[in-house]
Structure 1
């Protein structure tokens, strides 16, 4: 099968959608399919051979975060050429309402189209402005996927139509087999916890964790807090109590291998995210690595953790409840081990071997439906393609 996949977010900066696209493409290629990915990227970014750059992206505020997007006539021309050259059996767009290359590909494409919706959000001002323009194009989507019930609700409420829920995938064995690193392994006197995420992005929840830590450090004086992710430690720790700053070790951005080893080594992985999460891929990665997970009780996180049976939960944006629950976990190795074991078992349902088969089934259904219909004149919309080949 010839598969074209479009990622709206730049491959220059790691993120959940980029990882999903990368891993899905790699899995499909491993199964013998021909896959080409189109995504924004700077000219000096090292890309996998199956990725085509749509050009440099611009950082904009979107859905409570900062996204690197690419839009405009020059990009539209690149999208058209990529579509023409690919002659794909199916086109798979990610976040087709995000103002980037996915929208341009959707407007240009006129073949079997599948779209995956990752976001859980109320309709934004950007979406309200763009929706009348892209609505006719959205009707061309023959197969809709949502990565969670929260993302599906966004589709049904703000986009229209329905979507089948297929979660994000994880290479579970990669995390399950990750070597533990002695520098990150906790001891009874000095347990370790980890936070992974963009430090300066409030919705990732580092301020909530920081507000909880004075009580935790008081109860567990030897605690070590390993913070991984981009950001300036001096900026984010401004105003923090000295004992909290002293307990933290800032690792900066970490590689995939280091992330897996970090998750496999710590006593507890803490996800204090405050909102805007439609799934929680990092929870699955932590569960796969054998970490005990403690997460805020966002609905998306609760579904991943099976209502709290595969990980502990605390009341969202409540530092006192986070501190209480974390201290209880750190004082109970039996409880941590039980949750970690349950998490590893649950993680298996999110393995790419399971998830990719479900996505392929959607591809096949859309292709068969297209074949049964009367084909339109011309494979791609010539207006956005920039003319004939």
Structure 2
């Protein structure tokens, strides 16, 4: 039983990617943002959170403070470097042993709940939760069967072993956390999850970082206000070393087939061929999966004659990402699969219209035609029309901006943390009931 007189202690597991890593390259992405944002918010609610992740460098200290009440623990499991995500199942035994050793030198009953992120963490968390007799909560983030059903042309399917491992975690977890109702349905229909153990908790956005530019439009009609905002965006582009008088479309994420930045490059080619205005496409991201991914994207731009319109830069920290969003006319999220779509939610909060693929959780983030634009397919023609038409219509962009800003407060991390604490409490009840049923 948890002592109500002390803070809740959460062992949070993130095996394959550290919350200290910069999102946007390698295996670091939205999950890193999720783990960090949730852990900080749980600590603000009074919990103590320890995040266990695999050590990837001998220089990493054993423990790194992340915020008041939150630390990151590096666990040695296999070679520090040279392993990708597909190599990690063979290191789960070593990782789990490292997690268990951390608890072993403390008093019994130290942790109150294990919260595992992604299926690899779920496998380790399953053993830790059983050893400590505490509930296992699992957030899957992505699902193999969902990703394989929406593969980009030429992409590699997720291995069968992953789907089997996911099934095991789904069965073992006392609570499963889905980011959207769509993901909850996928857990029940594709993995046989018990509906009463699936909880929908929408991820959050750091609303102190992702906020609109401070441009006063009081007393102005929509057209005049839109012109003032566009002028502010031009000055921000100039400060970032980008062409100020050319519209800017921003893609922020890993450069890989799943995230589909190639769709945007092909859309620029369509705009060029039809003699429409071709914006600058700024890609903030690094290669993921294939080391040559960035060079391949640049080669595609050259092949289509739009190499002078495509700028690729390394991913940036959250405050700089927000600054780039405020400089952009449109943020594009063309992914083939997204369990939620944090970039879309962050862009809305920063006051930038979003054009996104109508996949996964993105229709939850965006209300098509009201707070954003959803694109039904991944055709370069469709995307060219969606982006081109929006860039040609400043008043429509202004309307999307206003509606998006009005909707963005629902995605605060503090709200998500309160809901997650309720999930933890429910998971304790489920674990107790399952133990009684076993006799």
Superposition TM-score, scaled by structure 2 size:
0.74
Matched, 1:171 2:201: no
| Residues 165, 308 of structure 1: alpha-carbon distance in 2 compared, 3 angstrom cutoff | farther
1:141: which partner in 2?
173
Looking at structure 2, the residues matched to 185 and 290 of structure 1 have their Cα atoms a distance apart, in angstroms, of 21
Between stretches 174-183 and 110-119, larger displacement belongs to 174-183
The aligned counterpart of 2:317 is: 255
Partner of 1:383: none
Q: Identify if the C-alpha distance between structure 1 residues 140 and 222 changes in structure 2 by more than 3 Å, giving closer, same or farther.
A: closer
Q: Give 1:64's aligned residue.
A: none
- SS at 1:108 equivalent: helix
Post-superposition offset of 1:219: 4.2
Give every structure 1 segment of 4 or more consecutive aligned residues whose post-TM-superposition deviation is greater than 6 Å: 67-70, 185-188, 371-376
Of 368, 386, 389, the match for 1:325: 386
Q: For 2:348, what is the secondary structure of its paired residue? A: helix
Structure 1 Cα separation of the partners of residues 56 and 244 of structure 2: 46
1:161 to 1:187, Cα distance in 2 relative to 1, 3 A: same
Spell out the pairing of 1:218-233 with structure 2 (5 A cutoff): 219-221=275-277, 223-231=279-287, 233=294
Deviation at 1:129, TM superposition (A): 4.6
Structure 1: how far apart are the matches of 2:90 and 2:346? 29
- Aligned partner of 1:54 in structure 2 is 75
Q: Show structure 1 runs of 5+ residues with no match.
A: 62-66, 377-389
Higher alpha-carbon deviation: 76-85 or 329-338: 76-85
Q: For 1:272 and 1:309, locate their aligned partners in 2 and report how far apart those are by CA, in whole Å.
A: 18
SS state at 2:91 partner: coil
In structure 2, runs of 5+ residues without a counterpart are 1-7, 22-26, 66-70, 147-158, 215-232
- CA deviations over 1:317-354 (Å, ceiling 9, x no partner): 11101101111111111101111121122221111121
The answer to whether the aligner puts 1:116 opposite 2:116 as a matched pair is no
Provide the secondary structure at the position in 1 that maps to 2:84: strand
Task: Work out whether 1:153 is the aligned partner of 2:153.
Answer: no
Which of 80, 90, 102 does residue 113 from structure 2 map onto? 90
> Deviation at 1:41?
3.2
Matched, 1:282 2:343: yes
TM-score relative to the length of structure 1? 0.83
Q: Deviations over 1:61-83 (max 9, x none)?
A: 5xxxxx97772432221021234
Per the alignment, in what secondary structure is the counterpart of residue 306 of structure 2?
A: helix
Residue in structure 2 matched with residue 381 of structure 1 by the alignment: none
SS in 2 for 1:164: strand
List per-residue Cα deviations over 1:246-293 (Å, max 9, x = no partner): 0112222222221111111100011111x2311111110111111110
Counterparts of 2:396 and 2:34 in 1: how far apart (Å)? 31
- Structure 1 residue 214 and structure 2 residue 228: aligned? no
Instruction: State the 1:101 CA deviation.
Output: 3.7
The SS at the match of 1:195 is: strand
Instruction: Find out whether 1:310 has 2:371 as its counterpart.
Output: yes
Offset at 1:195?
A: 1.0
Q: CA deviation at 1:372?
A: 7.7
The residue aligned with 1:81 is 101
Change in 2 beyond 3 A, CA 1:314/1:366: closer
| Residue 14 in structure 1 maps to residue 49 in structure 2 | no
3-state SS of 1:122 partner: helix
CA distance in 2 between counterparts of 1:351 and 1:219 reads 42
Cα offset, 1:312, TM superposition: 1.0
SS in 2 for 1:227: strand
For the 8 Å contact 2:10–2:114, the answer to whether it is kept is: yes
Between the two proteins, the alignment pairs up a number of residues equal to 364
What SS does structure 2 have at the residue aligned with 1:175? coil
Whether 2:111 is the aligned partner of 1:107: answer: no
Q: How does 1:296-307 map to 2 (within 5 A)?
A: 296-307=357-368
Deviation, 1:189, is 4.5
Distance in 2 of aligned mates of 1:88 and 1:286: 36
What secondary structure, in the 3-state scheme, does the structure 2 residue paired with 1:173 have? coil
CA distance in 1, matches of 2:277, 2:171: 58
The root-mean-square deviation of aligned C-alpha atoms, in Å, is 3.0
Q: What is the match of residue 387 of structure 1?
A: none
Map of 1:385 onto structure 2: none
- Indicate if the aligned counterparts of 1:145 and 1:165 stay in contact, CA closer than 8 A: yes
Q: Distance in 2 between matches of 1:142 and 1:31?
A: 22
1:29 matched residue in structure 2: 43
1:16: Cα distance to partner? 1.3
- How far, CA to CA, are the matches of 2:113 and 2:164 in structure 1? 29
